Amino acid sequence: MSASNKLPPEVAFLLEAAGSAPSADNSQPWCFEWDGQTLTARVHRRGGFPEDYHATTLALGAATENLAWAIQSLGLDMASWFFGPPGADGAFAQGRVTKPSTIPAGNDVPLWKQRHTNRLPYRPEIDSEVADKLTTCRVGKVEVRVIAGAGIRQAADWVRQASEVRFQTREVNEWFAASLRYGDSPQDLVSGLHVDTLALPPGGVGLLKLMSDWGRLQWLNRLRAYKLFAAIEAANFRKAPLVVAIIGPADRAAAFDAGRCLQRVWLRVTELGLSAQPYYVVADLLNRLESNSVPTQCVTQSSVLQERIRAEYGHENTLHCLLRVGTPVGEIQVSGRLPLNEIMCT
Ligand SMILES: Cc1cc2nc3c(=O)[nH]c(=O)nc-3n(C[C@H](O)[C@H](O)[C@H](O)COP(=O)(O)O)c2cc1C
């Protein structure tokens, strides 16, 4: 049985929780199976990112964290569930949905539904207790390091340098361009990255369209446009009141835990009435160095950056993601999600 309209309400509740997790470029790299007793969540490629891509594993971890929250709020037996990076069958979460389980009553919107990415600038002030509240969100060997003051300027420099490479990397640019949505058709609003969620300045949509073509971006890069784009990318980050670094071992199991940790931090941030925006560009560069997919002219600059990060966090660790945290100067359009019938495995 796969039709979503035949799902019991508690299963639909679990799917909605998992499916509302964040994912790079809103790629939503998952699908779900319900056989009447057992729910299975599997990795499922949508858009550019491969199934074993680091950012995909982070998103699966984030979906798992939401699922765990929802399982707990239904009062189900969490101990009988499997959670982990996908194996050969692609499953990253599996468990029985046993009766009786009741959907929590009340008008409170669950935290995982309130969380979203706010890309507007953040106000400079932040409560001094926030840092301590976020460092408790560790998962397994994956830790949360909170950065403030001069440390933010150093991390913003990492973001700027990694972005310079990102704007010279064809694959990243093409994946990003393919994820962009400009229209207002139902499909544009639920899949991919809608430009209305990006907090672009006037003229920003036109520039994005211009840069989306690799030939044109290469031409602009001859004028060193990548330096300007990277400085723009790092600007809001540099002014953030607080930054969070998710760090831990580089293996796939740790990447999955890093996704859970990222989402645990983000839910806590939401609970505290704050917002967050992930910056994946540095982690992406570190992974590209490992897979030899950094453009030749950027390898030296990238290796220097890698050494700086190792000096900061230790050779046994990698940086899985950065997040800026704070109170945004305004509201922003929220990304949509595929309806349940489109996230069932076929
Ligand atoms: C692994 C990962 C990497 C991300 N990287 C970035 C990023 O570099 N910049 C950014 O603005 N948003 C980033 N995001 C946020 C996603 O674009 C966002 O979660 C997605 O579009 C869905 O929107 P929502 O978070 O508002 O629900 C990232 C999210 C994840 C899970």
CATH of the domain at 95: 3.40.109.30
pLDDT of residue 48: 82
| Protein residue closest via CA to atom 19 of ligand 1 | 22
Residue 25 CA: nearest ligand 1 atom is: 17
Q: Which of 270, 280, 282, 284 to mutate to test the pocket of ligand 1 (most atoms within 8 A of CB)?
A: 280
136 shares a domain with 96 = no
Mean pLDDT per block of 10 residues along the chain (346 residues) reads 74 97 98 96 93 97 97 92 97 90 76 97 97 98 97 98 98 96 94 96 94 97 97 97 98 98 98 98 98 97 98 97 98 96 95
Assess if residue 241 is contained within a domain: yes
Shared domain for 60 and 181, answered yes or no, is no
Do 93 and 158 have their domain in common?
no
E strand segments, 148-270: 180-181, 193-194, 242-248
Question: Which pLDDT score, from 0 to 100, does residue 1 have?
Answer: 46
Atom of ligand 1 nearest to the CA of 21: 27
Predicted confidence at residue 4, as pLDDT, reads 66
Is 120 within a domain? no
Paired residues of 93 in beta bridges: 41, 83
Distance in angstroms (rounded) separating the CA atoms of residues 269 and 252? 25
Do 160 and 246 belong to one domain? yes
Pocket test for ligand 1, best of 16, 20, 25, 229 (most atoms within 8 A of CB): 25
Q: What is the CATH number of the domain that holds 144?
A: 3.40.109
Task: For ligand 1, atom 31, name the residue with the nearest CA.
Answer: 23
Range of the domain at 22: 4-115+335-342
**Are 136 and 104 contained in the same domain?**
no
Q: How far apart are CA 117 and CA 110, in angstroms?
A: 16
Domain contains 125 = no
How many domains, in total, are found in the chain?
2
How far is the CA of 335 from the CAs of 23, 180, 197, 200, in angstroms? Answer: 11, 12, 6, 15
Nearest ligand 1 atom to alpha carbon 118: 26
284 part of a folded domain: yes
Pocket of ligand 1 (CB under 6 A): 22-26, 55, 58-59, 62, 116-117, 119, 193, 277-281, 321, 334-335
Asked whether residue 123 is assigned to any structural domain, the reply reads no
| 269 and 319 both lie in a single domain | yes
pLDDT of res. 107: 66
Does residue 90 sit in the same domain as residue 207? no
Distances (CA, A) of 28 to 44, 192, 237, 306, 346: 8, 8, 25, 29, 16
Report which ligand 1 atom has the smallest distance to the Cα of 54: 1
Pairing state of beta strands 82-83 and 143-147?
unpaired
**99 and 228, same domain (yes or no):** no
Same domain, 50 and 93: yes
pLDDT at 318: 98
Residues 159 and 42 both lie in one domain? no
Q: Tell me how far the alpha carbon of residue 56 lies from the centroid of ligand 1, in angstroms.
A: 11
Same domain (yes/no): 223, 99: no
Looking at residue 256, what is its pLDDT?
98
